[in-house]
A and B are shown apart, each in its own frame.
Chain A
């Protein structure tokens, strides 16, 4: 909020002088507003308002008496002025503690404009109107009023000049975008995109869906990678995007310290979560509460041999549009129905969290149950293992959205894996002395879900058939996988054919093995799946330790 605006100039007789001030009497006592006490003592700050020549042309600010004065003194030299120079300054007065960053540009722009006007027509030097009158005064008055009330102004000055100012908030510069990050829109881009947008931007936005990694986006959109990153960073700056990680069923997630203040106690967030993850609100209705999973979810990464380089599960594309489900459920929206149903009763041992179903309605996963599900995610346990332990509760829940929700809200974090090569020779193949705790991976037995069928634990680097693909083929498979949602089953056979292709060189691999590159990065950059990477690391001549962080 601007407290005052004043125009000051160097008077050859009087020295620094306040010519106009809004509000009247705010800077120097005014005969027309005797009741207005000045905010500050002008003589204290006159040196900053009308400084030495050397400092003119710089943004100056000074704090006094609880106020902050922002000014941009201009010194113009010309023979038409007394003493051949004219020094003036339009200053904005703010409360000292107020954030002044947005006003810096205002002061500067004002100074620029006045400088131009003075040059063109002597706008300022020929303004002999009394204090509180005239064009310059009304300009200050309107500027302050408009900026305070509307955060913008458009003040016509003459037939050629208009003062256009808009206050913009300033955001922190977003960090660089990485190839293995996954952007997700915070809003509906369709609502504000138009054909004037940058071409790269126009091409990439349809592929931003919370599933595709940046690299995949650039492949799908056929755009230059660095341009893609820049466009995404631009969207990030304006808060249009979240950055997520690559979701896969071998990934590990665990709660953060934000757990209790957010999902743990916020019932509104639990409802929001239920709405977001409940398969009933997905655009394609699920086949029914008794079905363990809708068909759209079936292509799982672990069962999918043609799994793309990022490990991204090509889940139903319909699930990836966060906003599409909003409008259609309104009619049947109901506080009770928002909660996902439990799956059908199975072998009780597989559904330990099932509350006793004593009520007449179908058993639901309520807010507390959602919290329990989140709380049961932990370090050292992959999503797949977690799913296996909670099959029944998760029967009608979109797993990816469930995880994503927690990551977005900040109460879950992804536990990344880092490989670190030591100077020890590699242990014999089956010794697998690394990740000792993870090695005791739970046997995922007794489950007939697609996730568990091919349950080679990603944590247990054993017996995975190495598969390598060329980037082109993989890109192709991504496209088909994403669009058709198939590739399940056939992938294993197909990928076996690619075994013959060249393997990643040790030297190439070596530079990723210093403990600073997470698996997502390695997989993305070397274009291999996590399982391939794990298998490859086993064949690395030196011992490789896996650190979960």
Chain B
């Protein structure tokens, strides 16, 4: 499923668990055993590792993709660096394509040989200049030497120091010191950087009284039940352990996660008193350290974010993973002394392994199979580093689901210069628009509660999802199953609610849950009259694989390339491609399939009202006339001309400040500045001002937000409305089209709906929304819109009156 919703890049390199007790800090466990070289062990022999560790792909994985153009990006980088004085670090920025660039920072992470006085060229300008040199297998750089040194024990398990005692080329004792901070970091973000690696944790310290949480006695049910805290997707019962479908009491919404997490902390805290194990007082120590107590634990995530995305990536993983994982551990620690017991267990196994000279591989398999904590860390690492949902069970009682919520859609089509996420759903449908008035029943932040006019598109087959849901067996599983069965991508939540009898709020909550856990996506309901085009963001490199999958799903229908090719060309309503009524259902299924994979996107229509010079002039004349009359009635004829002029200016100013407020914001095109930018506008503005009166009147303009029109714009709108012919000469045909409406009604149709539709003519709200939201017949809506000048296809027989053609429409996703 992660291939459908493009996940963020987690940049996860390793996870380290540090605990501190009376005897000092201890590096208990880290995973993977050999970070930054892990993915190579499988593919290359030991001897080859040095080579592969070198910086052939240093900094920028572009080079891998640039080969086709014959461009060696390493050299390119060198060149760039030699010109940019800042040097190497600048180039770190855009590295990585799809892999995790694990080797990118390896030398940087390795420590220099102790006592080596020379800076090991791990960063900055040293990088670029020596990049090519490093590409050679024999690398004189001290950092790599030290890296080798740290590998050596790995090669020869017989050496005195077991390989797992050091990490990233640095001995464990150094990490122990580095990653066990002072108490001032208690339950706060702990962030350390070494070269390009960031180490982030959320350390938890034991309280003064030796407990792990505040003693606030509010007796409630047994503590296990608390952990269904929605923000963690935390499953409280053993049976339903690993399913991320596990239902929770509050919708798992990305946006509200943090706040929920905060609010849940204290109630959770308050209940732990009832747990059997006394916090911080290990009841049954596993070995000789029985009098020892843990005073702190710190789960540190090592990430290597690209320099330019540093804060974003760090924040993402911190908020979504690190904090939640550490909180869960803290809770378990308080409840059953979990972390300390597990740590002692792990340390014991490690000690034994050192004595028996076990290989790293065997040690890790043993740890992961024996210790739930080690397994949990392993699960978090392997899932999160591949952008999946991590379903972690800390103990038979407690499990949680963690994920970094992926990006699901974007309104931006990337240019040749931008980082692209091909396959991502391209749409503006889930962006907030002006019509989404926060005061109204719609919630204007679509990710909080899914608006009722959306429909649910399942990202997997219905059967598969239902199977998962039922397997998870949570309290809400039946409701979920029922809802999934009722749900159709062609019906909005509101419609499903009516047809199935499930309350709308439940539907919204259930679908939010499915969306958050990557099982579904909220889309505007599929309709045969809507237009769909091949998404400009579709991932054609997946075409071959997708064609096969499509073939399996729809064996008797036109192939995927054929379908895409059919949807290419002049956009038409989807119904045009459906051969017959009998095919409707299957063609909707096909469309859903295409939407799911980001192959197609809906082409939507947006419109604005154009005010023609005639309208402006008419309003202007009316205004002048009113002025004159006002002054005449005041009996102050002397000042007419003067006042009229000044008043006139005011009007124009008003018009300008409202309709051309951006005239001065010259930087508005910043993201794509124009070539010739020697500011022609300074002088333009001055001349514009002089010519204001006549010019502004002679040019047509748009009303940007009709529902918040300025006084002058309102006058224009009134004028436009008044110009609609009362008895259009062309209505005759319309009566036939709408048999349920009498000809008289149809004549007045557009006049009747003008006030209703007006607010949608803002350029941001799709016309396709109108019929769903206003609960009107689609045909009627489009007929009115066409009268008003919307051109979406062949005009047909409708004869249009130019006075009504006030809309300028544009179609995009």
Contacts and interface: CB of A to CB of B under 8 A. Distances in A.
A155 to B, nearest CB: 16
Interface in B43-97: 60, 62, 65-66, 68-73, 75-77, 79-80, 83-91, 93-95
B411 interface: yes
A43 B566 CA distance: 69
B568 A367 contact: no
A234 B659 contact: no
Q: Interface centre among A60, A260, A276, A546, by most B CB within 10 Å?
A: A260
A172 to B, nearest CB: 4
B98 interface: no
A326 B678 contact: yes
Contacts of B808: 368, 371-372, 375
Interface in A338-382: 338-339, 355-356, 358-359, 361, 364, 366-369, 371-372, 374-376, 378-381
A255 B810 contact: yes
B356 interface: no
Given A102-B86, A420-B543, A547-B568, A57 B676 contact: no
Interface stretch (A105-113, A287-295, A298-306, A467-475): A105-113
Contact of B570 (A62, A168, A175, A381): A381
A429 interface: no
Nearest to A434: B565
A105 B79 contact: no
Given A257-B428, A267-B701, A372-B808, A435 B178 contact: no
Contacts of B699: 339, 364, 366-368
A409 B535 CA distance: 20
A85 B116 CA distance: 11
B90 A168 contact: yes
A16 B87 CA distance: 31
Interface in B601-641: 603, 606, 608, 610, 612-614
B439 interface: no
Interface stretch (A5-13, A178-186, A533-541): A178-186
Contacts of A549: 534-536, 538, 540, 568
A50 to B, nearest CB: 12
Interface stretch (B252-260, B414-422, B456-464, B521-529): B414-422
A318 interface: no
Contact of A105 (B124, B411, B534, B695): B124
A515 B561 contact: yes
Nearest to A339: B699
A255 B536 CA distance: 11
Contacts, number: 390
B565 A435 contact: yes
Nearest to B763: A260
B778 interface: no
A101 B662 contact: no
Contact of A172 (B65, B84, B419, B681): B419
Contact of B184 (A41, A75, A108, A326): A41
Q: Interface centre among A178, A276, A371, by most B CB within 10 Å?
A: A371
A297 interface: no
A464 to B, nearest CB: 18
B65 A257 contact: no
A378 B811 contact: yes
A260 B606 contact: yes
Interface in A399-426: 405, 408-410, 413, 415, 417-418, 420, 422
Interface residues of A, number: 142
A173 B701 contact: no
Given A233-B71, A257-B428, A436 B569 contact: yes
Given A230-B75, A437-B572, A410 B662 contact: no
A81 B534 CA distance: 71
Contacts of A108: 119, 123-124
A338 B111 contact: no
A264 B810 contact: yes
A234 B565 contact: no
Interface string B230-274: 000000000000000000000000000000000000000000000
B193 A62 contact: yes
A45 to B, nearest CB: 9
A377 B665 CA distance: 27
A267 B603 contact: no
B416 A52 contact: no
Contacts of A339: 699
Contact of B695 (A111, A173, A335, A546): A335
A439 B566 CA distance: 11
A538 to B, nearest CB: 15
A234 B83 contact: yes
Given A459-B569, A514-B544, A265 B763 contact: yes
B181 A44 contact: yes
Nearest to B171: A54
Interface stretch (B491-499, B509-517, B667-675): B667-675
A420 to B, nearest CB: 4
Interface in A91-135: 97, 99-102, 104-105, 108-109, 111-112, 115, 119
Contacts of B572: 437
Interface string B682-697: 0110011001000100
Nearest to B666: A268
A435 B608 CA distance: 32
Given A226-B69, A230-B71, A105 B87 contact: yes
A544 B591 CA distance: 22
A325 interface: yes
Contacts of A439: 569
A168 B90 CA distance: 9
A526 to B, nearest CB: 15
A336 B570 contact: no
B809 interface: yes
B544 to A, nearest CB: 7
A526 B73 CA distance: 25
B425 to A, nearest CB: 12
Contacts of A234: 76, 79-80, 83
Contact of A266 (B310, B535, B668, B671): B668
B475 interface: no
A245 B413 CA distance: 15
Nearest to A404: B675
Contacts of B812: 254-257, 259
A85 B561 CA distance: 69
B566 A437 contact: yes
A436 B536 contact: no
Interface in B94-112: 94-95, 108, 111-112
B111 A57 contact: yes
B140 interface: no
B561 A420 contact: yes
Nearest to B110: A58
Interface in A421-449: 422, 434-440
Contact of A515 (B87, B191, B193, B540): B540
B122 A44 contact: no
B753 interface: no
Interface of A: 41, 43-44, 47-48, 51-65, 72, 74-77, 85, 97, 99-102, 104-105, 108-109, 111-112, 115, 119, 166-168, 170-179, 181, 184-187, 225-226, 229-230, 233-234, 236-237, 242-243, 245, 254-260, 262, 264-269, 271-272, 275-276, 322-323, 325-326, 330, 333-336, 338-339, 355-356, 358-359, 361, 364, 366-369, 371-372, 374-376, 378-381, 405, 408-410, 413, 415, 417-418, 420, 422, 434-440, 459, 514-516, 545-549
Given A266-B668, A409-B669, 16 more contacts: A44-B181, A105-B88, A170-B308, A175-B416, A178-B69, A256-B412, A259-B763, A265-B763, A272-B674, A334-B687, A355-B613, A368-B700, A422-B562, A437-B568, A516-B541, A545-B561
16 contacts: A48-B178, A63-B190, A63-B191, A104-B123, A109-B124, A176-B68, A176-B73, A260-B764, A260-B810, A323-B675, A330-B683, A338-B684, A361-B698, A436-B569, A439-B569, A514-B544
